[in-house]
Amino acid sequence: ISEAVAFLTEKNAKVPQQDEATYYQTAQITNDRYISVGSQADTNVIDLTGDDKDDLQRAIALSLEESNRAFRETGITDEEQAISRVLEASIAENKASLKRTHTEVWSDSPNPHDRKRQENCPVGLKNVGNTCWFSAVIQSLFNLLEFQRLVLHYSPPARMQDLPRNQKEHRNLPFMQELRHLFSLLVGSKRKYVDPSRAVEILKDAFKSSESQQVSFCHLHTIIEWGEKPKNPMVDLFYGRFLAVGVLEGKKFENTEMFGQYPLQVNGFKDLHECLEAAMIEGEIESLHSTENSAKSGQEHWFTELPPVLTFELSRFEFNQTLGRPEKIHNKLEFPSMLYMDRYMDRNRDITRIKREEIRRLKEHLTILQQRLERYLSYGSGPKRFPLADVLQYAMEFASSKPVCTSPLEDVDTTALPGGTTAQLPPPHRGAAQQQQRVSIHKPFTQSRVPPDLPMHPAPRHITEEELRVLEGCLHRWRSEVENDTRDLQASISRIHRTIELMYSDKSMMQVPYRLHAVLVHEGQANAGHYWAYIFDPHQQQWMKYNDISVTKSSWEELVRDSFGGYRNASAYCLMYIDDKKPFLIEEEFDKETGQMLSGLDKLPPDLKEYVEADNKLFVREMEEWDTLQARKLQQEKLALAAASVAHDLEFAQEDTPPERDYRLQHVIVYFIHNQAPKKIVERTLLMQFADRNLGFDERCKSIMKVARAKLELIKPDEVNMEEYEMWHQDYRKFRDTTVFLLIGLELFLKKSYVEALMYLIFAYQYNKELLAKGPYRGHDEELIAHYRRECLLKLNEHAAVLFETGEETEVNAGLSIMNELVVACIPLLLVDEMEEKDMVAVEDMRNRWCSYLGQEMEPNLQEKLTDFLPKLLDCSTEIKSFHDPPKLPSYSTLELCERYGQVMTSLTLSRTPADGR
């Protein structure tokens, strides 16, 4: 902890490596003020490891003081400083080749057609090493069309006297130029996604200078030079002002301050307005409104000028004093799509104060009513509470039950217990400890059913008609009174809630509307995570999800699920609202002469248009070269295989297939001969190979092609059954697909990616079984595939059990998800063929692993989850559950397929995990 604080407070601190880099990449992104103590502070290092909350408050105060001082001196806010440190850590982590924590792993497809932009689809940004947060912010800013125009039409200084005079300004120019290039590609590129590496590299170089430690992506005005312009348009877009009115040790003060990204605490609040209300009032504020001089301190914030783009930073980290580390808060926090800021404006100060006082009074009354209601809904003096109306109803049911004249013990035959044994019930006078020994333990899977003749409910032993009549009358009257009181309290509480909700709904307090433009989301914990953004497209009236290279249509419902928190391990960390009365922020540009809306390359200045056109030409050339290369490869492969097949088909066909070199993959003819295909089928297939027009390289090849075509014409239609011919070729295609499923599954298995490997091995086994039904050489070794499919399930089962044993809610749910979605779903596949004894043994091992928990003590919630899950695991049904469509297979050339298949088979031998001893 001391090293971490030292890093945060030292001017020339070194960037942390390895695990530290991962921590700063995620923890600092949201600028939690008590984690980031202020990069400018040289002294007053505060110990955050103790339990004293005053230290934490002083840390927050110091951070605020330092951030205000830093902004006044440099024009750079603490948000920018925090993001600067994040980028440093991100670059350091990339340099150290740390793996990305998000489960989605992708790389550039070698086929440029896979990287081609779909018509009218936005362009994505490639993740160049833990830069998903960079992509989310850049896309949010790019889709602010006014900001986009400012960047695209930025012009560097043209005169010598306007050139930068210091190192910081020298850094800004190349970065701004690169940002223009990046934005222009996002406008007009033919690529599905573009690479921002150059912009990141420029920033990385900037970090080598102690003078340039802070860089902001949320407020890029700090890196844009606007020549002699008296005002900076970026400041106008993102920065506003607020008035701080307060009392410090009895003395009143009033200061105007500038703000950019406005920080809001999340913990303890249910919606955005509650966060804002808390942020606008700090400390004891009563003395502000009184004439008496007191020693109390506090302040209120009132916005005097709001920016067109209003950004809120949601602080979702808190420091765990016990564990000595920050933790991510994913509590639910609602925010509206339309936000009215009137109540926070300085011009509405008086009316807002009146309304706040009224809300405070209503909430006090609401608290009293809720306490009274709670006494009705949770009645009782013991640890267990019940609704009072239900208690009275139960009493009425007991009194109204038919009286019984015998003791409940007299109805039980105590001489014969289940299982044929005899015993005596302990007499009432024996000690409690002795009786407790005979109390049976509840076993959810072996509990006996209740005897049918046992009375359903206890009943009074003796009660007269008069007693019953009086008691029923009282209980009925009391229950009615309780129900009426409960309804009245609930109605009053609802009315107060509604009154509070409508407190600011009059038109005078709805004059400053801000519409939600973008939501930046973080998924994960303080030490790892992934970032993406939801951005509203006003022209399509559609929410879009920007997730690195992937840009897809989304919905408000999906945004709510991922952003509010409380649903899964994801929540919003930044909200970007735009002034709904300033449509120029998101309006498209129109041609002044024609009046037509500008789109694509027409939006760009001449230099950027030329830049994008040049890049598009390179991409088109790349696709053309790819097509030419693939055509040449295909021709060469067909010629080589056709020639080789003539010389070696019979030789290969007579040999047993070694595991690492399956000759059947090298040519269809080998497969046919191995499987004793009809001679006419083999002959026609061979002639079709030589008759392919792509083999016409030279005169010699052309002469062979002509001979093959002539022979094909001599074959009469009734000599070859074309349905049978097509069937054999379909089998060979299925054999190749089975091979691809198998080799990808085995590659993933060797990498211990068992979840991904399982699906490939399942379909490999299924396809292979269908082939082997037609002949022993139609497919691969069935026991080999069965072994690795079985091993995959066993390893997933063990991993899920280990997660369950942690007892942590997130880990337990993840383990049960693996079991329900993968293991349980696959067990029928192992049981359907009872001849495979090893599969049966594996199923029993998996079931025994979970049944072993039955006799163990565990928390009630774990016991409940286990009780709910076990019947699914123990289901003996062999009904095969439907799986999704098989994974999409890549297209391999014959050479690539043979090489990869040989490599994976060799790796299996070297890894010493052979199937069934082979």
The encoded tokens of residue 825 equal: 């779903």
Cβ proximity of 148 and 590 under 8 Å? no
Helix axes 679-690, 699-714, angle to 10 degrees: 140
* Count of C-beta atoms within a 10 Å radius of residue 577: 25
Q: Are 124 and 549 in contact (CB under 8 A)?
A: yes
Sign of the C-alpha dihedral computed for residues 835, 841, 846 and 851 taken in this order: positive
Task: Say what angle helices 824-831 and 782-806 make with each other, to 10 degrees.
Answer: 150
Tokens of 149: 């125009």
Pairing of strands 309-315, 281-283: unpaired
Spatial CA neighbour of 195 closest among 549, 607, 701, 626:
549
CA distance 850 to 10: 52
3-class SS of residue 422: coil
What's the CA gap between 360 and 366, in Å, rounded? Answer: 10
Residue 303: count of CB within 10 angstroms of its CB: 23
> Locate tokens 């640890």: which residue?
383
Largest pairwise CA distance in the chain: 120
Q: What is the CA radius of gyration of the chain?
A: 37
List the alpha helices (DSSP H) in 773-821.
782-806, 809-818
Neighbours of 563 (CB within 10 A): 23
Beta bridge partners of 519: 534, 575
307 close to 581: Cβ distance less than 8 angstroms: no
For 637-686, what is the HEC assignment?
A: HHHHHHHHHHHHHHHHHCCCCCCCCCHHHCCHHHHHHHCCCCHHHHHHHH
Q: Per the residue annotation, which of 181, 273, 301, 530 is the catalytic one?
A: 530
How far is the C-alpha of 198 from the C-alpha of 183, rounded, in Å? 13
- Phi and psi torsions of 857, nearest 5°: -80, 140
Residue in 314, 335, 318, 337 with CA at minimum distance from that of residue 326? 318
- What is the rounded CA–CA span in Å between residue 245 and residue 287? 11
Written as one letter, the residue type at 405 is C
**Identified catalytic residue from 522, 780, 787, 799:** 522
Write the CA distances from 1 to 14, 23, 24, 30, 323, integer angstroms: 16, 13, 13, 19, 11
**What are the start-end ranges of the E strands in 238-289?**
240-248, 251-259, 261-265, 281-283
Which entry of 132, 218, 275, 792 is annotated as an active-site residue? 132
Q: What are phi and psi of 271, to 5 degrees?
A: -150, 175
The question of whether 522 is a catalytic residue gets the answer: yes
Nearest to 200 by CA among 26, 80, 84: 84
Nearest to 675 by CA among 688, 687, 685, 689: 685
Query: In the 3-class helix/strand/coil scheme, how is 177-204 assigned residue by residue?
Result: HHHHHHHHHHHHCCECEECCHHHHHHHH
Tokens of 69: 């001082």
Q: Are 789 and 781 in contact (CB under 8 A)?
A: no
Residues serving a catalytic function are: 132, 522, 530
